[in-house]
């Protein structure tokens, strides 16, 4: 997995979080598969198509918080992640 301070797009733009579709019990095989990039300031009440209940690992950048809800539309219980 990338370090939280290394989260950037190919052109150098800062990224607040990256969610990954594949995970493993072996650390060197975590953060694999499809990637969902979360830019700074994002407010997304619904997961993009194909991502509901799919994210299995994530990295949150420095100076960012990622809040997720258990149900669509920002409903249900929440959990906050940070670097």
Quick check: is 6 in a domain? no
Q: How many domains does the chain have?
A: 1
Query: Residues 2-35: pLDDT tens digits?
Result: 999 999 988 888 999 999 998 777 777 788 889 9
Residue 75: give the domain boundaries. 17-82
Quick check: is 69 in a domain? yes
Other Cβ atoms less than 10 A from the Cβ of 19: the count is 21
Q: What is the pTM of this model?
A: 0.83
d(CA 33, CA 58): 12
Query: Residues 55-75: pLDDT tens digits?
Result: 888 999 999 999 999 888 899
Quick check: is 32 in a domain? yes
Statement: residue 80 has pLDDT above 90: yes
């Amino acid at each position: 997995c990338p370090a939280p301070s290394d989260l950037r797009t190919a052109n150098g733009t800062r990224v607040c979080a990256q969610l990954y579709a594949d995970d493993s019990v072996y650390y060197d095989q975590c953060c694999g598969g499809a990637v969902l990039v979360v830019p700074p300031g994002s407010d997304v009440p619904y997961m993009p198509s194909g991502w509901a209940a799919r994210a299995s690992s994530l990295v949150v950048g420095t100076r960012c918080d990622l809040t997720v809800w258990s149900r669509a539309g920002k409903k249900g219980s929440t959990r906050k992640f940070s670097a």
